[in-house]
Amino acid sequence: MKKLSLCIFLILVFSLFTSKSFAVSFEKNCKVPKGSIKTIKIDGEKYTQFTLKDKDKGGCSTDIKSRHGFPYWERAELAQRNTLSKKKIHEISFKVKITEGFNGIGENFFQIHNYNKNLKAVYPSFMLKFDTGNFQELDVGNFQVNYLKDFICLEKKEKYCAKSAGGFGKKNFKTLTIDDFLNKWMNFKIVISKIINEKGSLTIFINDNKILDNAVVHFPKRGTPRIKYGIYRPGNLKVNNTSQILYSKINVNSKK
């Protein structure tokens, strides 16, 4: 009996020092439209509500600039205060409920960006989004994972990368549309491996169903991964519909 108790104690101690689970803290890393981020309570639980309306331009310096064929960018987003170690495995879990919209072009709701205080324009390693296509040829947006295949900054201008090589691949889930998410709680678990030679693997579960298995993703040497979540999308000179999403707390379990 004593041996069994000692064994259980050692297992608990080992797990304590090899794995750490915590709710990550977030902040507005640039100005957001008034009233676009709120904390609400549902059945005693706190959730973060993001709402983005037409012409709600983001407050980051690049949001007012024409990029990738779009006149400006709309944003209501929070960023992780600290960063994710490249030397650990990270399991990120949260649940979301989309209550309105997400039927436009490239509407991001979660991304792992790469932070570098001396070089602001380091691409995100991957993004979760809904997309109807550049010409909105779809009736409803498909769920999509955009992941960075490579990134090399060829020319730096002030704190920005003015010219780069590399780009994104994408996995488009034609059987997962916005209708599957609308007004339903969807549980996400995202597993990121240790980063070795700027490469890591990405596995994604939705409601315990594995939808992406060990996809190879690029994590630039000059950046450190961090979570950004909310709504981020291209601006539209005509009109963007209102989009709204609810987020639970985001928990990260990290281990060596």
pLDDT tens for each residue of the chain, 256 residues long: 445 444 444 444 444 434 566 568 999 988 999 999 999 999 999 999 999 999 999 998 888 888 778 889 999 999 999 999 999 999 999 999 999 999 988 999 999 998 777 655 568 999 999 988 655 555 678 899 999 988 777 777 766 666 667 778 889 998 899 999 999 999 999 999 999 999 999 999 999 999 999 999 999 888 889 999 999 999 998 999 999 999 999 999 999 8
Which amino acid is residue 46, in one-letter code?
K
Note the CATH number of domain 22-255: 2.60.120.200
In this predicted structure, what is the pLDDT of residue 102? 94
Which amino acid is residue 87, in one-letter code?
K
Give yes or no for a contact between 128 and 232, defined as CB atoms under 8 angstroms apart: no
**The model's pTM:** 0.85
Domain spans of the chain? 22-255
Give yes or no for a contact between 184 and 190, defined as CB atoms under 8 angstroms apart: no
